Structure 1
Amino acid sequence: MNRKVFLRNASAIAAACAVMPAWGKELISAKKSFFEISLAQWSLHKKLFAKEIDNLDFPAITKKEFGISVVEYVNVFFKDKAENTQYLNELLKRCKDNGVKNHLIMCDGEGDLGNTDANARIKAVENHYKWVNAAKYLGCATIRVNAAGRGTATEVSDAAAEGLARLGAYAAKEKINVIVENHGGYSSDGSWLSGVMKKVNKSNVGTLPDFGNFCIRRDGNTCAEEYDRYKGTKELMPFAKGVSAKSYNFDDKGNCVETDYEKMLKIVKEAGFNGYVGIEYEGSALSESEGILKTKALLERIQKAI
């Protein structure tokens, strides 16, 4: 391109920008956020267990009440429906009708993937196959599992790595990710769980850092030993395929009391993460709906700031 043509084109672009509507200029100048907001179904677990709402209601509630278009299921709320195509088709219809995307299924109660007994571990791995298949059917990208087990830290680490590798190999055939949450015990030790990920070394096996689940040992209802949540999140982020924004209580400025969200989300951003940050409200001072909306507002505020 010669200088004359370049100047003519530049002038045309400048003229177009001059008459462009304000909203158009905002779209061009707006920076793209490094994360999108999803809703973890556990945020509504009280209403679900009380039968006030049903799993099939979740997509519509997520979109209509909270203005969120991506959902994360918990398998306990449709535990016997993983292989029921009629039910899954109805769930897909509800999603389509409400413009909602299925992202992941959180899987509990299917056995310990870090069980040091080989036969029990293999059984646990195989128990998760149906959830891999259900995730594929629903258009999810991921299932969340637990790396639990009994034994020494090294014994459970080796067992969990083997179990996750086995499940990961099955899930890879369906192009589904398998991710582990810091969910108590050894898994809430960021160094331990990141070490397991290094042993597994599979592209579709990763982590789901949860801002609030860093209690390694409990004494009744009290956490007797807690891992540093910021250090732990930083250690898990290199393997993260999702993030769980846990919240309980809020101050009068709308900030989460337990976690510095700005500090945490900067850690997430600096890790190069681009994906979904799922709201998981577990507080009791507010209703579930109020807690979800407070968490969403906090995420959106920090999303714009950083």
Structure 2
Amino acid sequence: MNNPKHRRDFLRQMALYTMGAGMLPSVLAACNGGSSEKTAKDSTTTATLPGASETKPLFFKISLAEWSFHQALFSNKMSHLDFPLKAKKDFGIEAVEYVNQFFKDKANDRAYLADLKKRCSDNGVHSVLIMCDGEGDMGDQDPKKRLKAVENHYKWVEAAEYLGCHAIRVNAAGEGKAEDVAKAVVESLGKLAEFGNAHNINVIVENHGGNSSNGKWLSSVMKAVNRPNCGTLPDFGNFCLNRTKPEDNTPEAWAKTKCLEEYDRYEGVTELMPFAKGVSAKTHDFDINGNCIETDYHKMMKIVKDAGYTGHVGIEYEGAQLSEDEGVRKTLALLKKVGAELS
């Protein structure tokens, strides 16, 4: 999720954050997406191993993250309202994860949301969550700005409830010492989770650069918040703690930035899974056998399974070598193959 023009908050975090520094086990039934999430029947809940004659149920459900099509969406080759049908028609995926940037001014537009909801209903598609960016830093050291950031998310909580989602995804953003940011984020998440609870909506935090990409730091934040409707969205690929600064704010400049310090992704996901209410299956490149180059999916999905997670795993293709459609297809095939092996 690193388009510089449209995810400037995330990118700014990756450039400015420093490594933060923990975690207690929690009751899995209260923390993972398998218990608190509204459920739906997905067509991607079974898979067949090569050479096998029978299909077997997967231990998780598959959803599709809208960010997988950010290029098509930003270039207006695809509209936000087209996304649910595309997920179902082109990939057989019946659960979708929205990105607020693609309907930024529509959170309070009930007619627009009703149209989106009807398109989902008409095509048997379930809305899972809304990924929220650009609403302010939850870890801002200025109390007024921090409160404003929390309140800015209220409309997305209400939109998520109306669409039938189980959660909104927020960022643990903030500048300053890791411990100070953590304290501010804990306060903000507590307030937002309280509001979310009144609407039956979970508030989940993704490892999204900087402090939040430190598994120990984010898991300690979850422990401190200690609310049943506040959890994590472990992303397999977002573990960059520190990144080079771009020459300017153009997409080309941001594409040339490099990660200077990275947290171990397997350790990070292991630390975040006890609090997980969603999982993001990030992919960039694939080898000739269809395996993800940057992440060992068998190892990663075993971590997910061992945590007792049975909720949605959202496909999020972010590569440049394949078309967005082909990247999604390869990620879907990989998830089903590995899922069948582990289920």
Q: Which residue of 2 aligns with 1:241?
A: 277
Which position in structure 1 is the counterpart of 2:144? 119
TM-score, normalised by the number of residues in structure 1 = 0.90
The aligned residue for residue 162 of structure 2 is 137
Match of residue 191, structure 1, among 216, 223, 226: 216
Provide the rounded CA distance (Å) in 2 between the counterparts of 1:193 and 1:265. 20
Secondary structure of 1:249's partner? Answer: coil
What RMSD over aligned residues (CA atoms) do the two structures have, in Å?
A: 0.9
CA shift, 1:96, in A, is 1.1
Q: Percent identity?
A: 62
Amino acid across the alignment from 1:165: G
Mapping of residues 277-296 of structure 1, within 5 Å: 277-296=313-332
Residue 171 of structure 2 aligns with which residue?
Answer: 146
- Offset at residue 31 of structure 1 (A): 5.3
The amino acid that maps onto 1:37 is: I
> Does residue 222 of the first structure (1) align with residue 293 of the second (2)?
no
1:33 to partner: Cα distance? 2.2
Once the two structures are superposed, residues 223-270 of structure 1 have per-residue CA deviations (whole angstroms, 9 ceiling, x without a partner) of 000000000000000000000000000000000000000000000000
What residue is the counterpart of 1:69 in the other structure? 94
The Cα of 1:30 is off from its aligned counterpart by 6.5
Q: Which residue type is aligned with residue 246 of structure 1?
A: K
Whichever residue aligns with residue 157 of structure 1, its letter is: A
Runs of 4+ in 1 over 2 A off after TM superposition: 29-33
Letter in 2 for 1:249: D
- Where 1:300 maps in the other structure, the secondary structure is helix
Query: 1:68-117: per-residue Cα shift (whole Å, max 9, x none)?
Result: 00000000000000000100010011101111000000000000111111
Q: How far off is 1:32 after superposition? A: 3.8
Give the TM-score normalised by structure 2: 0.80
Higher Rg: 1
* 2:77 paired with 1:52: yes
Query: How far is the alpha carbon of 1:277 from its aligned partner?
Result: 0.2
Could you tell me which amino acid in structure 2 is paired with residue 152 of structure 1? K
Q: Secondary structure at the match of 1:47?
A: helix
Match of 1:157 in 2: 182
Partner of 2:249: none
Q: Distance in 2 between matches of 1:206 and 1:297?
A: 28
1:265 corresponds in structure 2 to 301
Structure 2 matches for 1:73-92, cutoff 5 A?
73-92=98-117
Cα distance in 2 between the residues matched to 1:199 and 1:175? 21
CA distance in 1, matches of 2:70, 2:332: 17
Matched residues, number: 278
Counterpart CA distance in 1 for 2:329 and 2:55 is: 24
Give 1:119 shift: 0.7
Q: Which amino acid aligns with 1:272?
A: G
Deviations 1:35-92 (A, max 9, x none): 1100000000000000001000001100001110000000000000000010001001
Measured in 1, the distance between the counterparts of 2:185 and 2:262 equals 21
- How far apart in 1 are the matches of 2:181 and 2:142? 10
SS state at 1:42 partner:
helix
| Aligned-partner Cα distance in 1 for 2:114–2:279 | 27
1:192-216: CA deviation from partner (whole Å, max 9, x where unpaired): 0001000100000000000000000
Q: 1:231 aligns with which of 249, 267, 270?
A: 267
Higher relative contact order (CA 8 A, sep 6+): 2
1:101-143 superposed Cα distances (whole Å, 9 cap, x missing partner): 0000000000011111111100000000000000000000000
CA contact (8 A) 2:317 2:324 kept: yes
Is there any run of 5+ residues in structure 2 with no aligned partner, and where? 1-53, 246-256
Counterpart CA distance in 1 for 2:294 and 2:178 is: 28
1:202 alignment partner in structure 2: 227
The answer for unaligned runs of 5 or more in structure 1 is: 1-28
